[in-house]
Amino acid sequence: MVFEMLLEIDNLSKSFGGVQAVRDVSLSVDSNQIASIIGPNGAGKTTIFNLVSGIYPADAGEILFMGTNIVGKSQHEIARLGVSRTFQNIRLFKGLTVLENAMTALDAGSDYSVFSAMLTLPNRRRTDKANMLRALEALEIVGLTRYQDEQPSNLPYGLQRRVELARAIVSEPKLLMLDEPAAGLNPSELAAFISLIAELKQRFHFGILVIEHRMQVVNELSEHIYVLNFGNLLTHGKPEEVCNNREVIEAYIGEDDNGAKDQEPLCQL
């Protein structure tokens, strides 16, 4: 099938009760491209992620993933098409080790039966072995090999983020959605994280959609930035275009000149 973009969102809308969380938003991400969504709190950024991953259905609009409309498909179907994500508040599985957490993303694709599982038949052993090696590889990429048998809750916050990242990339998705991946990271972790994401893109060539508040991440990584405000798409473009846009500065800092002096500059290019 011929398609223009990896992910293309057309005139997407969603409201919760009387609140219009997302209104007529269109955006697109191509393979081997990093795009960012920025905007103040409550702008509807995470709602877009939740709509793409099928957590709730869109009210109107289309979400085309590799040319097919995925609106109305269930969460696991969308995940199996090759859309994977991380969560704003880390959502790792308690009771599974770091390695097992990473393996869960591959388990949905394994096809041995429950009888084969109970009897440990050869096809189960083969599949699990192969998946374990893939999961170990993903852990190595994010630098967590020596924590493979730990419970994720025993790890510091920054490493837990990496576990989530490993779990998201292990199935080699086509689209990776990162919801505030740098939140809570200290400056040195942040620098390491930015180079890790860049390295992942080099390696897997997937499209990456990032929600982020920290402009350092956005500016260093993204090729295209979408700015949301109150559910509307304010503007979009290359980082340097967006940073100098008056509307964007107003949305972030407010119109008041006195207030603006206390704020950090939006971009440090």
Partner 1 sequence: MSAAYLNYMFSFLINNVFILMIGMLGVYVLTGLTGMFSMGQAAFMAVGGYTAAMLSKYLNMPLLVTVPAAVFMGALFGLLIGIPAVKLRRDYVAIVSLGFGEALVAFLNNSASITGGALGLTAIPKYTTKPMIVAVLVLIIVFVWNLKKSRFGRQCIAIKSDELAAASMGINVARVKLLVFTLAGAISALGGSLYVHTTRYLDSAAFGWDQSSMWIVIVFFGGVNSLTGSIFAGIILGLIPEILRFSNEMRIVIYCIVVLFIVNFRPQGLFGETELDAKTIKRAARSLAGFFRTSPVAHANGAS
Can you tell me the distance from the alpha carbon of 197 to that of 195, in angstroms, rounded to the nearest whole number?
5
| 92 phi/psi in degrees, rounded to 5 | -90, 160
Say whether residue 80 binds partner 1 (CB under 8 A). yes
Choose among 155, 65, 149: nearest CA to 103: 149
For the window 41-60, what string marks contact with partner 1 as x by the rule CB under 8 A? Answer: ------------x-x-----
Whole-number minimum distance, CB 173 to partner 1, in Å? Answer: 10
Around 6, how many Cα atoms within 13 Å sit in the side-chain half-sphere? 20
Return the residues of window 160-199 that contact partner 1 according to CB under 8 A: 167, 171
For partner 1, the binding residue among 13, 15, 26, 104 (CB under 8 A) is: 104
The vertex-175 CA angle with 75 and 55, nearest 5°, equals 20
For partner 1, the binding residue among 24, 128, 189, 250 (CB under 8 A) is: 128
Selected range binding partner 1 among 115-123, 217-225, 226-234, 252-260, rule: CB under 8 A: 115-123
Say whether residue 120 binds partner 1 (CB under 8 A). yes
Q: In this structure, what DSSP letter does residue 233 have? A: E
**Would you call 264 helix, strand, or coil by DSSP?**
coil
For partner 1, the binding residue among 68, 91, 133, 143 (CB under 8 A) is: 91
With respect to partner 1, which residue has the nearer C-beta, 55 or 260? 55
Whole-number minimum distance, CB 162 to partner 1, in Å? Answer: 16
Tokens coding 27 = 């955006």
Say whether residue 84 binds partner 1 (CB under 8 A). yes
Q: Where are the alpha helices (DSSP H) in 214-256?
A: 215-221, 239-243, 246-253
Can you tell me the distance from the alpha carbon of 223 to that of 206, in angstroms, rounded to the nearest whole number?
14
Does residue 34 contact residue 197 with C-beta atoms inside 8 Å?
A: yes
Q: Interface residues with partner 1 (CB under 8 A)?
A: 53, 55, 74-76, 79-80, 84-85, 87, 91-96, 100, 103-105, 107-110, 112, 114, 117-120, 124, 127-128, 131, 151, 167, 171
